[in-house]
């Protein structure tokens, strides 16, 4: 390998440059360069950001935020949306790896697709990485050390960066393949056909509702029946249902399995509600801020307000997580949807593991869950930083929540892509399609087929349906199945068959085109969202 010294390479710590020896080496790739960094501590190092200016400019980019629900939009470097600075800190920290950057610059958290190619990190095992796009189009790579500490004489190898120059579609394909291999993605399994309770019933679910839909699901080729939010004792307590549920979870799992379906269940493993049992009984299990107070991971009015983040650098928390998920597995659940995973990466200065980065804390939490459910169970992530989850999850949500209306309605200024709507389920799913079967199976969220209790037109429903097929073929339904007539069931059957037909990796011909053309091993899809367009060629 060749050694490369870049002018401007430095470790920034709170706006101050910290003296540190940073060894940077490069390795040629077929269509680019791999950059490897190692920090050598000549004096104590605590936190900071390693900054490497990149000798390239961008004219058009795909802005990408931190996690499943974050922005994924095509734009220009100067479109920074300064109004974003007015959003709450907890929200900016949830949607972007660095909460102080929105409204000042644009970023590609994990990787950046731009008119000149793709720059991205091959893994997020040590730190989170960001490609920063300045308003003038200049670029720099940043490795976020967070709370990592190094004593004099210690060294730390950072996650490699690749700079792939050329056609954006071709380099995107190369990056997805290289990063998936480097991050040791799990072996891919055919996507199950899923029914989920959320988008029809939300939290107002009962065992009777689940069984009524189970009866129809088992007759029409649906393989997984997933119980969503509303069953649990409270947010943070997942080993038993709430009192109104009035039934054991193992009995319902047994009934689902008896009808030939796989029992599935939703949880949010890294959350603890303010005033709830977990936060009250184990205050030492929470991530804390610089003032020693529990870090707010999010606000959720439906759950009662402030939600804290579990500190997954704490061995006691990891033991709790493994035991909790082993209990759910023993109750008969084999398909697990784990949500709001960004909480394990919440910004906080007082973690139990004082030398652990946020990326490492998230991975420790995911490893604890996988240990509890075993290797054979199917694990679907959601609300997660994407690259850190590679190797742990089988599938990952890559979009905002779908909705029974097309355009976004309520959102913080500058964040219209970060709210529920059908459009916001389509765009990121399509623009992240090359990750399918390279990192994990892509979950483009549920496909709404019902013709009643919806504001989506027939043509808009077609676009949502075909976008899910184009992105991955992971098909989940979430309607009251009693609303389906024979025509709807025929459409569902064709959807399942088409998903099988188009199984395999995806490639975007030109990520900046409108509509976007996605190729599968047997055909192609043309998908647009402004205005809604869907065409398919097998």
Same domain membership, residue 368 and residue 439: yes
Does 203 share its domain with 72? no
pTM of the prediction?
A: 0.97
- The span from the CA of 145 to the CA of 299, in Å, is 26
- H or E element: which one contains 260? none
- Per-residue tokens: 298: 């999010």
Same domain as 396, residue 258: yes
Instruction: Note down pLDDT in tens along the chain; length 538 residues.
Output: 334 445 568 888 776 666 678 999 999 998 899 999 999 988 888 888 999 999 899 999 999 999 999 999 999 999 999 999 999 999 999 999 999 999 999 999 999 999 999 999 999 999 999 999 999 999 999 999 987 888 889 999 999 999 999 999 999 999 999 999 999 999 999 888 999 999 999 999 999 999 999 999 999 999 999 999 999 999 999 999 999 999 999 999 999 999 999 999 999 999 999 999 999 999 999 999 888 899 999 999 899 889 999 999 999 999 999 999 999 999 999 999 999 999 999 988 778 877 889 999 999 999 999 999 999 999 999 999 999 999 999 999 999 999 999 999 999 999 999 999 999 999 999 999 999 999 999 999 999 999 999 999 999 999 999 999 999 999 999 999 999 999 999 999 999 999 999 999 999 999 999 999 999 999 999 999 999 999 999 8
Q: 213 with 327, same domain?
A: yes
* Assigned domain for 285 exists: no
Structural domain boundaries enclosing 92: 2-182
The 3-state DSSP class for residue 275 equals coil
One domain for residues 92 and 240: no
468 domain-assigned: yes
> Could you give the C-alpha distances from 134 to 9, 51, 282, 285, 406, in angstroms and in order?
16, 13, 43, 38, 32
* Contact predicate 505/496, CB 8 Å: no
Query: How far is Cα of residue 519 from the mean position of the Cα atoms in its chain?
Result: 23
| 6 membership: H or E segment, kind and range | none
User: Last residue of a domain, which of 182, 213, 246?
Assistant: 182
Same domain, 218 and 85: no
Name the domain count of the chain.
Answer: 2
Orientation of helix 315-330 relative to helix 358-373, angle to 10°: 30
User: Last residue of a domain, which of 126, 156, 182?
Assistant: 182
> What is the C-alpha to C-alpha distance for residues 134 and 86, in angstroms, rounded to an integer?
20
264 belongs to a structural domain:
yes
C-alpha 19/C-alpha 11 separation (Å) is 7
CA distance 418 to 218: 35
Domain boundary among 156, 182, 208: 182
- Count of residues for the chain? 538
The answer as to whether 448 is a domain residue is: yes
- Which residues are annotated as catalytic? 339, 401
pLDDT at 415: 98
Q: d(Cα 448, Cα 461) in Å, to the nearest integer?
A: 7
Please tell me whether residues 354 and 489 are part of one structural domain: yes
Q: Residue 535: which residues within 8 A CB-CB, separation 6 or more?
A: 466, 515, 525, 526
On whether residue 277 sits in a domain, the answer given is no
Same domain, 497 and 419: yes
pLDDT value of position 306: 94
H/E element holding 132?
strand 128-133
What are the strands, taking DSSP E only, across 4-137? 10-13, 16-18, 21-29, 32-40, 45-46, 49-57, 61-64, 72-75, 106-109, 111-114, 117-121, 128-133
| Residue 537 located in a structural domain | no
150 and 207 within one domain: no
178 lies in the same domain as 198 = no
Residue listed under structure tokens 């101050």:
16
User: Domain holding 388: CATH number?
Assistant: 3.20.20.70
Element (H, E) at 138: strand 138-144
Please state, in angstroms and rounded to a whole number, the distance separating the CA atoms of residues 382 and 269: 11
Q: Which of 380, 428, 346 is nearest to 191 (CA)?
A: 380
Give residues with Cβ within 8 angstroms of 326, minimum separation 6: 372, 373
**Does residue 60 have a cis peptide bond before it, meaning omega lies within 30 degrees of 0?**
no
Q: Is 145 contained in some domain?
A: yes
CA 538/CA 338 separation, integer angstroms: 34
Answer whether 306's CB lies under 8 Å from 296's CB.
yes
Please check whether residue 496 lies inside any domain of the structure. Answer: yes
CA 93, 99, 102, 105 torsion-angle sign: negative
Q: Are residues 200 and 343 in the same domain?
A: yes
What's the pLDDT at 192?
A: 86
- Count of C-beta atoms within a 10 Å radius of residue 110: 25
Q: What is the DSSP letter of 123?
A: -
Q: Are residues 55 and 203 in the same domain?
A: no
Q: What is the pLDDT of residue 5?
A: 46
């Amino acid at each position: 390998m060749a050694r490369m010294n870049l002018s401007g390479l430095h470790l920034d710590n709170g706006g101050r440059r910290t003296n540190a020896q940073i060894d940077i080496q490069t390795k040629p790739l077929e269509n680019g360069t791999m950059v490897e960094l190692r920090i050598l501590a000549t004096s104590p190092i605590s936190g900071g950001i390693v900054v490497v200016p990149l000798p390239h400019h961008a004219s058009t980019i795909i802005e990408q935020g931190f996690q499943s629900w974050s922005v994924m939009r095509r734009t220009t470097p100067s479109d920074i949306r300064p109004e974003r600075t007015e959003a709450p800190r907890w929200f900016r920290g949830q949607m972007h790896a660095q909460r102080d950057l929105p409204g000042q610059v644009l970023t590609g958290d994990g990787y950046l697709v731009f008119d000149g190619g793709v720059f991205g990190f091959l893994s997020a095992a040590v730190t989170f990485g960001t490609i920063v796009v300045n308003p003038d189009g200049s670029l720099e790579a940043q490795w976020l050390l967070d709370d990592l500490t190094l004593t004099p004489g210690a060294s730390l190898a950072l996650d490699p960066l690749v700079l792939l120059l050329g056609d954006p579609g071709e380099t995107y394909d190369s990056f997805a393949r290289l990063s998936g291999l480097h991050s040791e993605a799990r072996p891919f399994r055919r996507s199950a056909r899923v029914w989920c309770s959320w988008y029809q019933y939300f939290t107002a679910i009962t065992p009777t509702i689940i069984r009524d839909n189970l009866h129809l699901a088992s007759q029409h080729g649906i393989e997984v029946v997933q119980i969503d939010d509303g069953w649990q004792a409270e947010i943070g307590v997942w080993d038993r249902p709430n009192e109104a549920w009035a039934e054991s979870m193992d009995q319902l799992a047994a009934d689902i399995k008896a009808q030939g379906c796989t029992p599935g269940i939703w949880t949010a493993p890294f959350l603890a509600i303010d005033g709830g049992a977990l936060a009250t009984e184990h205050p030492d299990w929470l991530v804390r801020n610089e003032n020693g107070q529990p870090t707010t991971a999010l606000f959720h009015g439906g759950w009662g307000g402030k939600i804290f983040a579990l500190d997954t650098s704490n061995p006691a928390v990891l033991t709790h997580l493994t035991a909790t998920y082993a209990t759910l597995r023993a109750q008969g659940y084999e398909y697990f949807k784990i949500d709001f995973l960004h909480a394990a990466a919440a910004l906080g200065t007082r973690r139990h593991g004082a030398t652990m980065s946020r990326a490492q804390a998230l991975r420790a939490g995911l490893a604890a869950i996988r240990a509890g459910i075993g290797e054979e169970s199917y694990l679907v992530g959601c609300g997660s930083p994407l690259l850190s989850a590679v190797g742990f999850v089988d599938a990952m949500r890559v979009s905002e929540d779908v909705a029974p209306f097309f355009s976004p309605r309520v959102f913080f200024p500058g964040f219209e892509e970060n709210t529920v709507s059908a459009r916001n389920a389509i765009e990121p799913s399509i623009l992240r399609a090359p990750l399918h079967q390279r990192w994990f199976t892509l979950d483009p969220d549920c496909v709404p087929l019902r013709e009643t209790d919806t504001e989506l037109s027939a043509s808009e429903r077609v676009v949502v349906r075909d976008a899910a097929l184009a992105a991955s073929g992971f098909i989940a339904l979430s309607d009251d199945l009693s609303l389906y007539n024979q025509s709807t069931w025929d459409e569902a059957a064709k959807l399942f068959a088409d998903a099988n037909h188009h199984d395999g990796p995806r490639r975007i011909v030109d990520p900046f085109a409108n509509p976007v053309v996605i190729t599968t091993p047997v055909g192609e899809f043309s998908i647009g969202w402004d205005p809604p367009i869907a065409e398919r060629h097998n």
